[in-house]
Structure 1
Amino acid sequence: MKHPVTMLALLLMIAALMSACATSYQPVPPFTPVEVDAGGHALKAQNVIVIMDASSSMGEGYQQWKKFDIATSVVRNMAETVPADMGIKSGLRIFGGDPKMFAESTSVIDDVGDFDKVAHHKALSTVSQAGGTSPLGEAAAAVVNDLEGLDGTSAVIMVTDAKGMGAGQAAGARAVKEKFGDSVCFYPILVGDDADGQQLMEEIARVGGCGFATNADSLASGEQMADFVQKVFIGDMMDSDGDGVGDAMDKCPGTPAGVKVDSVGCPLDSDKDGVPDYQDKCPGTPAGVKVDSTGCPLDSDGDGVPDSLDKCPKTPAGVKVDASGCPLTVLQSGAVSWTFNEINFEVSKADIKPASYGILDEIAAALGANPQLKVVVEGHTDNTGARAFNMDLSNRRAEAVMGYLVGKGVSPSRLSAKGYGPDRPIADNATKLGRSKNRRVQFTKVN
């Protein structure tokens, strides 16, 4: 039989071993962050305050891990996942903690400022173990001071087991909400499976109105944490001009409101003339036609006929033209002769009446617009009076018209003058109307 003292020692050793096994926890599994791309997106939250539970209940186990280690990993992994260049401001607060290190019930361990992963991890490492009380409500209320002076929307993330806290702990969140209204959202994360704690987390999320409650178990992998960060921080694709195409894809930023755009954010240009539809005063311009800033075909001479159709470019200003852009009325294109009864002279003289200057100016302009055109200026009379006199008079009148046109810039090489007197009537000289028609100046094209 074994000695009683030896047996007692053995039993004590077994009890010690069993106790050690009961309180031995596994390390939290390693974490591999998944990249979150915030480029081109608006930020849903510009600030974040993390509240981590370091109270004594967090020293207890959950599954094969210590809850404190789970909470610490969640906070660290979140910092690893948030893009360093996202431009947010952050702060880290705990409640509880080893009373030897943290005399206050809630303490800021990383002051609010520009997010810095290194500083964040360094601050987190100062909390080495759990201890103390669980004043979540007090910690939440203290966030009022943390958020003071910050611009934009803020996310308050609480990582806690919420064990034995009671619904009254939501009062701190209500105080923050009353102070900051819609600019603050709550995202409580439950560590463990305490049923009452879960209800408290959901209640705090409802107080925020724009956040949500979740469980640390659902944030263990890189993909899960990246999804959480995306939901908390990353908003819709930025679309500064509101055309439905995000800034990152928009090749035409600053499009006016209401303008229809294509898939890359550029205003539609249906006729491909380089002028967008909303500015195009001449839609449907044929391909290849040059246009002005309003999308209308160029009309260099301003005659109303676009250059692409103008057969008589450089028509002088004010000259009427036909559909092809050539002078109209006075020298209609396609004709071989043009007759003018409205060119009048003093009686029995070659002096042109001033009232005829207008039509002669139009003829000069038409000749200027058709530099290839050569004409004979013909003078015609009725049969009143001696033929010899009428022949001389018609010739002098034709020369007078030619001289007027030369004076207006028409080259003499393109003009000649000839009088036909009464020899080429176009109407009956026996009537007054017929004689008025026969008294005329005619221009005949020279081939």
Structure 2
Amino acid sequence: MKRRIFVLKFLSMIAIATILSACATSYQPVPTFSPVDLDAGGRALKTRNLLVILDASSSMEEGYQQWKKFDIATAVVRILGQTLPENIGIRSGMRIFGGDPAVFQKSTQLIDDVGTFDRNEYEKSLATVAGAGGPSPLPAAVDAAAKDLEGMTGKTALIVVTDGEKMGMNPAENARALKEKFGDSVCIYPVQVGDDADGKKLLDEIAEIGGCGFGVSAQSLLGGQQMADYVARIFLGDQLDSDGDGVLDSRDKCPGTPAGVNVDADGCPLDSDGDGVGDYKDKCPGTPAGVDVDADGCPLDSDGDGVGDYKDKCPGTPAGVWVDAKGCPASVLDSGSTAWTFNEINFETAKANIQPSSYGILDEIAAALAANPQLKVAVEGHTDNTGARAFNMDLSQKRAQSVVDYLVKKGVSPDRLSAKGYGPDRPIADNGTRVGRAKNRRVQFVKVD
């Protein structure tokens, strides 16, 4: 009997493992792109050395869009080597940090010794890093790079391909020490994989410390011509990219693009929903095709009720009237629900002071409570995950209490109200997007029996 129970448990474990394996995230392969045959003839070589630092830490095993970040990073590093003219005459090397602990025992390791650039050796070295793992010791990699660069003559490009996440100690200080040692002979070029805001802030700081380099997104290099323009800009003279978007002026159909904006192959800001407003300033991404939008990329809303004209079934609603999802007047606390969410109750930034623009909806809530004297509610405050959790917990509690205090002043009995702050702990949308964070910043009323 014991043997039978053991066998059944073993089979159950296999079944669970099979289910978990089937549910594992499946990432798409990074689209292949052919390198452009970059002609370096007749152009001055302004950078004579290259050191690539590749992030192979565990965070690079995570996904970005439909791809694995590590696959994006290695694709960028590979096409960089394939785009550099084989006879360009530079010295190059490659270093990783992190890496599968079973393969790389050191926190950072030089996998391609510094020497005359050889495309075959470059690609063989990259192939030794089959996957990512371990911590993210970028500070150690930068310190080690300082030793790699000793004895080099001429200008050096230090290209760091990373997501900028989970770095632990601030590598900006290590970059500053490296810069003080080598001065203008070393330029730092961070390439961010993904779009983590803190990671971008860190890499922008490192690029600024480098002084003569610049940062780009890995996505902006996933094209043969885009990589060729990038390589030419770093290593070759006599061609310009005035707005710094990675697309040379000779092919840039949108000159003057603001710094840091992701662009397409023509140098124009990405516009994912095709509404004519670039993603970088589109406050309403995902607008349906054909919908008229304003300068912020948001659907026109003629009556200002928060419902775009294209789906407003009751146009011309008077100002301040509460409406439903179709833009038609509705009861604020409809009797068919037990919870009501309001993103329209706004506060001063990082404070619990209610903005005057919210008084109208709060007055309607007070009137609805007066019309339903048996209704008791818990007022819940919620925030997004921006900032420290402890601060957000305290802020959400204070904001919920501010709403309670306002309603009490409007005549609602205090024994019908309670306040509770949940900070960022109960999100209803993805905090990784601007729209999701806006939805998570809300006041919710929950019926109390």
Structure with the greater alpha carbon radius of gyration: 1
TM-score (norm 1): 0.49
